[in-house]
Amino acid sequence: MRRLARYLKGFRKQVILGPAFKMTEAVFELIVPLVMASMIDKGIKLNDPAHVWRMGGLMVLLGVVGLGCSLTCQFFASRASQGFGTVVRGELFRKIGTLSHAEIDRIGTPSMITRLNNDVNQLQLAVAMLIRLVFRAPFLAIGATVMAMALDLQMSVIFLAAAVLIALVLYLVMSRSVPFYGKIQRMLDRVSLITRENLSGARVIRAFSRQKAEMRRFEDASEELRQTSIRVAKLSALLNPATTILANAAIVAIVWFGGLRVDAGTLTQGEVIALWNYMTQILLALIVVANLVVIFTKASASAARVNEIFDTAPSVTDEGNTERAPVPGAPKIEFRDVSFSYSGGDEPALCHVNLAVAPGETIGVIGGTGSGKSTLVSLIPRFYDPQQGAVLVDGVDVRDYPFAQLRGQIGVVPQQAVLFSGTVRQNMQWGCEGADDGQIERALAVAQAKEFVDRLPGGLDAPVAQGGKNFSGGQKQRLTIARALVGSPQILILDDSASALDFATDAALRRALRRDTRGMTVLMVSQRANTVKAADRIVVLDDGAVAGVGTHRELMESCPVYREICLSQLSSEEANRS
Ligand SMILES: Nc1ncnc2c1ncn2[C@@H]1O[C@H](COP(=O)(O)OP(=O)(O)OP(=O)(O)O)[C@@H](O)[C@H]1O
């Protein structure tokens, strides 16, 4: 947690002045029992109403000034904690943006969201408590004990005994409950993972009538969370009765032995009341300490989770890379003996892949599900780096480019069409900032999307809902293709991005791409033989290895895997037609 303190740098004033005001209020609180004692011993006992009024007035003054101090501290605490939360959240968001897919896969999106929200909120609360109570509570407990000792050293033995017993109870309860807090946070992660999966996959769940099973999964996770939270709550619930019994026993002892000492003339009635007040203050302060321990334990678990993200070094980085010139005569894209495994994956997703793609060439990539097609193309824009071998663009290892230069020349259409809330035009301009309507319309026309966009009310200004929910799967795919084309990239990667299109639209799209993407190097991933058949060359992947490279005709003759795929989808007449 100490490491996160650097984010408090901008709030030095609040962090210093806040506790100072709170301590001033605590000093006033320690003075009040003495004023009360004087009111009783001098005002009431000696029948001096003027003294009672004076002491009463002093108590009101101490109360009002104390309240002012407390409110000022509260103000500083809110400023600092909210500011701290905003800074940490912003930094965390920035850091998550630098992580590569491998780290995001490992930590998981729901866990990142929980860390960004719940964990940062917990830290924010800890900062507020740090300013408001961390110094005040121990100061009050120790101060009340010292004041009691100053009043009557012998009576203060009761205080010390009560304080030690209360502290022991606190220790016993906290040492048993604290280990559960980390567990509860992990359980919260699981609940939010299930919630997220259910919200994003609501249609699939309904289509498969999985509502009951999903409800059970959610209930199990939430029941586990409930039971653990109840176990902790039960333990914590012991705290108040146990400490109150001990404090009340101490108060009984104070009144009992105080009475005897009043009889003996060594203590006044007012001092007994003051000792009683100090005991109550100690009890309240120790209960606050117990709550602080809970808050700081949770915050320390949250800090560890937040720091885990800050400490994660992105496995793919462009640090220190400078603009690179293309190597004359080099292939546009080259895979040199590339092998790649996902972290945690037993089997390599790609095995010793060698491939050179000439500038302007259209390459079809085909293979069964899980054969490594998406993995192959995701190495070009460096979504992942291979463990072995190298991927080169224009003869330069992709690891040597600045991201902006590398990714600026690649248009990627991912398997899952993702659009962002805004308008059609705004989404298209992701492909090229400041693209004009002419550029956008040309891209829409190639992607076979112009016709339906023209029909939308507002045309390019038509709204796009979050995730593009107001478009059909096929429309979304066409819009994502257009988005990639707007910037006229040198390399276009289509990762099974026409899977939701009907055959006629798919064929029209391929014709338009062939016609309008001359000079563009295109990698077209598909499971459909028809989609890749007309490519200049086709790469056949089988279990991560290249099973064949060539034209449709060559592969039909030489590659059994390709022949099998084609014959499973096309009539033998269609398959044999080039
Ligand atoms: N993020 C990931 N983490 C771990 N393993 C992964 C990940 N993505 C893919 N894999 C695994 O890597 C292998 C290749 O996956 P890839 O997505 O490249 O296949 P694909 O040929 O594109 O499949 P499909 O046609 O079904 O999309 C598969 O065994 C898959 O389970």
Domains within the chain, CATH numbers bracketed: 2-311 (1.20.1560.10), 410-488 (3.40.50.300)
What's the confidence (pLDDT) of residue 282?
86
Tokens of 406: 């590398």
Q: How many residues does the chain have?
A: 578
Tell whether the model's pLDDT for residue 575 goes beyond 70: no
Other Cβ atoms less than 10 A from the Cβ of 508: the count is 14
How high is the mean pLDDT of the chain? 87
Q: Of residues 347 and 256, which shows the higher confidence score?
A: 256
pLDDT-derived band at 510 (thresholds 50, 70, 90) equals confident
Q: Which of 48-57, 211-220, 468-477 has the weakest average pLDDT?
A: 468-477
Are 268 and 37 spatial neighbours (Cβ–Cβ below 8 Å)? yes
Tell whether the model's pLDDT for residue 343 goes beyond 80: no
| Euclidean distance between CA atoms 467 and 469, whole angstroms | 5
Which amino acid makes up residue 277?
Answer: N
Long-range contacts, 122-125 (Cβ 8 Å, 24+): 122/295, 122/298, 122/299, 122/302, 123/1, 123/4, 123/84, 123/85, 123/88, 123/299, 123/302, 123/303, 123/306, 124/81, 124/82, 124/84, 124/85, 125/81, 125/295, 125/299
Bridge pairing between strands 350-357 and 333-340? antiparallel
Atom nearest to 350 CA in ligand 1: 14
What's the confidence (pLDDT) of residue 197?
82
Pick from 375, 378, 493, 526 the residue to mutate for probing ligand 1's pocket: most ligand atoms within 8 Å of its CB.
375
| Euclidean distance between CA atoms 562 and 365, whole angstroms | 11
Tell whether the model's pLDDT for residue 104 goes beyond 90: no
Tokens of 159: 């205080």
pLDDT-derived band at 59 (thresholds 50, 70, 90) equals very high
Q: Which of 154-163, 306-315, 501-510, 528-537 has the weakest average pLDDT?
A: 501-510
- Separation of CA 543 and ligand 1 centre (Å): 10
| Euclidean distance between CA atoms 440 and 452, whole angstroms | 14
| Euclidean distance between CA atoms 21 and 76, whole angstroms | 10
In short, whether 375's Cβ falls inside 6 Å of ligand 1 is: yes
Tell whether the model's pLDDT for residue 114 goes beyond 80: yes
What's the confidence (pLDDT) of residue 331?
93
β-sheet bridge partners, residue 413: 494
Q: What contacts 563, CB < 8 A, 6 or more positions away?
A: 555, 556, 575
Residue pLDDT, tens place only, 286-301: 878 878 888 888 888 8
In short, whether 342's Cβ falls inside 6 Å of ligand 1 is: yes
Longest dimension (CA), the chain: 119
**Percent of the chain whose predicted confidence (pLDDT) is above 70:** 98
**What is the DSSP annotation of 369-425?**
TTSSHHHHHHTTTTSS--SEEEEEETTEEGGGS-HHHHHHTEEEE-SS----SEEHH
pLDDT-derived band at 340 (thresholds 50, 70, 90) equals very high
What's the confidence (pLDDT) of residue 410?
92
Atom nearest to 371 CA in ligand 1: 21
Burial grade of 482 (CB within 10 A; 0-12, 13-18, 19 or more): buried
Nearest to 490 by CA among 524, 519, 525: 519
Which amino acid makes up residue 172?
Answer: L
In short, whether 349's Cβ falls inside 6 Å of ligand 1 is: yes
What's the confidence (pLDDT) of residue 351?
92
What's the confidence (pLDDT) of residue 206?
80
Tell whether the model's pLDDT for residue 105 goes beyond 80: yes
Residue nearest atom 6 of ligand 1, based on CA coordinates: 342
Residue nearest atom 3 of ligand 1, based on CA coordinates: 342
Residue nearest atom 7 of ligand 1, based on CA coordinates: 342
Q: Which CA distances in Å does 227 have to 180, 232, 233? A: 11, 9, 10
Q: Please provide the distance, in angstroms rounded to a whole number, between the alpha carbons at the two ends of the chain.
A: 66
Atom nearest to 415 CA in ligand 1: 27
What's the confidence (pLDDT) of residue 175?
84
In short, whether 100's Cβ falls inside 6 Å of ligand 1 is: no
Residue pLDDT, tens place only, 545-558: 998 899 988 888 88
Q: Of residues 30 and 199, which shows the higher confidence score?
A: 30
Pick from 373, 385, 528 the residue to mutate for probing ligand 1's pocket: most ligand atoms within 8 Å of its CB.
373
Residue nearest atom 25 of ligand 1, based on CA coordinates: 369
Q: Averaged over 231-242, what is the pLDDT?
A: 85
**Percent of the chain whose predicted confidence (pLDDT) is above 90:** 35
Tell whether the model's pLDDT for residue 345 goes beyond 70: no
Tell whether the model's pLDDT for residue 577 goes beyond 70: no
What's the confidence (pLDDT) of residue 78?
94
- Separation of CA 337 and ligand 1 centre (Å): 19
β-sheet bridge partners, residue 464: 422
Tell whether the model's pLDDT for residue 90 goes beyond 90: yes
Q: Averaged over 18-41, what is the pLDDT?
A: 91
| Euclidean distance between CA atoms 80 and 87, whole angstroms | 10
Q: Which of 21-25, 241-245, 306-310, 379-383 has the weakest average pLDDT?
A: 241-245
Tell whether the model's pLDDT for residue 237 goes beyond 70: yes
Q: Of residues 368 and 331, which shows the higher confidence score?
A: 331
Are 543 and 371 spatial neighbours (Cβ–Cβ below 8 Å)? yes
Residue nearest atom 20 of ligand 1, based on CA coordinates: 370
Are 85 and 120 spatial neighbours (Cβ–Cβ below 8 Å)? yes
Other Cβ atoms less than 10 A from the Cβ of 105: the count is 14
Residue pLDDT, tens place only, 391-426: 999 999 999 999 989 998 998 888 888 888 888 888
In short, whether 545's Cβ falls inside 6 Å of ligand 1 is: no
Tokens of 144: 């009340």
Residue nearest atom 19 of ligand 1, based on CA coordinates: 370
